[in-house]
């Protein structure tokens, strides 16, 4: 798969919540093929203490405009500098990196996409791809509060949307794995991304119900190319670099205690 490393122009930066921002970046050339689950390594050029690129999941791709959408959680100095970029400024990106989610074998598969916090980002891209294949996905999104439930309108346009918040301010109160939809409906395939405890709970539910399940790991990554070895994960196949052999892995390959 073709990769590029080039300067993208910031088209817009929109604050979605207190710490979440949506960035729209445009390439001057045709974008390479990208698949749901892949990520971008973004260079932070105006933060004196940020030496390494930051990995950010691809939230959406607009091939007609040569644009990508990145959902950024501004939680460190590097990402806080990134979201301050103004329209017309440049952001250097290396993409696409990593592997992608497995597509259903038929349009009859019942697919559940579970996202928590900023982990909803690849779920939107995946949902769009599923719709293009003729599959109507079910989305289950969780956050601490209603303010942190992001891009709800975009998810709602693609499939059936269910929500949870830890404080009960929107949707059902609690965690995603406590939502009543998991008792009311049956699924053939699950894809999930978010905090590790959430993904482990989803994986446990999938294993108990014999459902195919893939998770998108969020291990710390520096190079994105498998050279620095800081994102290594133990699997049934031995040690792997999440940035090259992931970030998407079937739970059957993980050594999580489920």
Q: Is 137 marked within a binding site?
A: no
CB 22 within 8 A of CB 16: yes
CB 254 within 8 A of CB 217: no
Q: Is 122 marked within a binding site?
A: no
What pLDDT score does 56 carry? 97
Apex 46 CA angle, 219 and 44, nearest 5? 25
Strands 138-143 and 111-116, sheet pairing: parallel
- pTM score of the predicted model: 0.96
A 10 A CB-CB count for 253 gives 17
What pLDDT score does 1 carry? 75
The per-residue pLDDT of the chain, averaged, comes to 95
What pLDDT score does 222 carry? 81
Distance CA 231, CA 222 (A): 8
Which secondary-structure segment (H or E) carries 157? helix 152-158
CB 52 within 8 A of CB 222: yes
The CATH-assigned architecture of domain 111-216 is 3-Layer(aba) Sandwich (3.40)
A 10 A CB-CB count for 188 gives 15
Q: Is 68 marked within a binding site?
A: no
- Domain 4-97's class? mainly beta
Q: Tokens 């079910």 belong to which residue?
A: 138
Q: pLDDT per residue over 131-161, tens digit each?
A: 999 999 999 999 999 999 999 999 999 999 9
Q: Is 223 marked within a binding site?
A: yes
Q: Does residue 51 carry a pLDDT above 90? A: no
Q: Is 241 marked within a binding site?
A: no
Residue spans of the domains in the chain: they are 4-97, 111-216
CB 149 within 8 A of CB 143: yes
Q: Is 93 marked within a binding site?
A: no
b/e burial code for range 111-126 (CB count within 10 A of at least 16 → b): bbbbbbbbbbbbbbbb
Q: Is 228 marked within a binding site?
A: yes
Q: pLDDT per residue over 169-221, tens digit each?
A: 999 999 999 999 999 999 999 999 999 999 999 999 999 999 999 999 988 88
CB 113 within 8 A of CB 37: no
Q: Are 4-97 and 111-216 the same fold in CATH?
A: no
- Per DSSP (E only), the strands in 75-225 are 90-97, 111-116, 138-143, 160-165, 172-173, 189-193, 212-216
Q: pLDDT per residue over 224-253, tens digit each?
A: 888 988 899 999 999 999 999 999 999 999
Sheet holding 248-250, edge to edge: 172-173, 160-165, 138-143, 111-116, 189-193, 212-216, 248-250
Q: Is 115 marked within a binding site?
A: no
What pLDDT score does 45 carry? 87
Long-range contacts of 161-169 (CB under 8 A, 24+ apart): 162/138, 164/140, 166/142, 169/145
The arithmetic mean of pLDDT across residues 51-69, rounded, is: 95
What contacts 105, CB < 8 A, 6 or more positions away?
A: none
């Amino acid at each position: 798969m073709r990769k590029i490393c080039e300067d993208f122009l910031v088209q817009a930066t929109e604050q979605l919540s207190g710490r979440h921002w949506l960035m729209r970046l445009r390439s001057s050339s045709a974008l390479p093929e990208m698949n749901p689950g892949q990520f971008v390594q973004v260079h932070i050029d105006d933060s004196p203490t940020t030496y390494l690129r930051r990995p950010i999941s691809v939230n959406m791709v607009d091939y007609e405009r040569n644009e990508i959408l990145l959902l950024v959680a501004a939680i460190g100095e590097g990402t806080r500098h990134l979201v301050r970029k103004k329209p017309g400024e440049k952001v250097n990106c290396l993409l696409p990196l990593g592997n992608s989610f497995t597509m259903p074998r038929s349009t009859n598969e019942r697919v559940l996409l579970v996202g928590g916090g900023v982990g909803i980002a690849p779920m939107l891209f995946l949902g769009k791809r599923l719709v293009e294949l003729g599959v109507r996905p079910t989305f289950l999104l969780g956050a601490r509060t209603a303010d942190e439930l992001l891009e709800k309108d975009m998810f709602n346009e693609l499939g059936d949307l269910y929500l949870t918040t830890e404080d009960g301010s929107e949707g059902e109160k609690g965690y995603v794995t406590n939502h009543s939809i998991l008792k009311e409906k049956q699924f053939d395939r699950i894809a999930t991304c978010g905090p590790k405890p959430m993904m482990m709970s989803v994986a446990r539910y999938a294993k108990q119900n014999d459902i195919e399940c893939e998770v998108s790991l969020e291990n710390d990554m520096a190079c994105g190319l498998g050279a620095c070895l800081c994102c290594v994960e133990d699997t049934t196949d031995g040690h792997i670099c999440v940035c090259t052999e992931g970030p998407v892995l079937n739970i059957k390959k993980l050594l999580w205690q489920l």
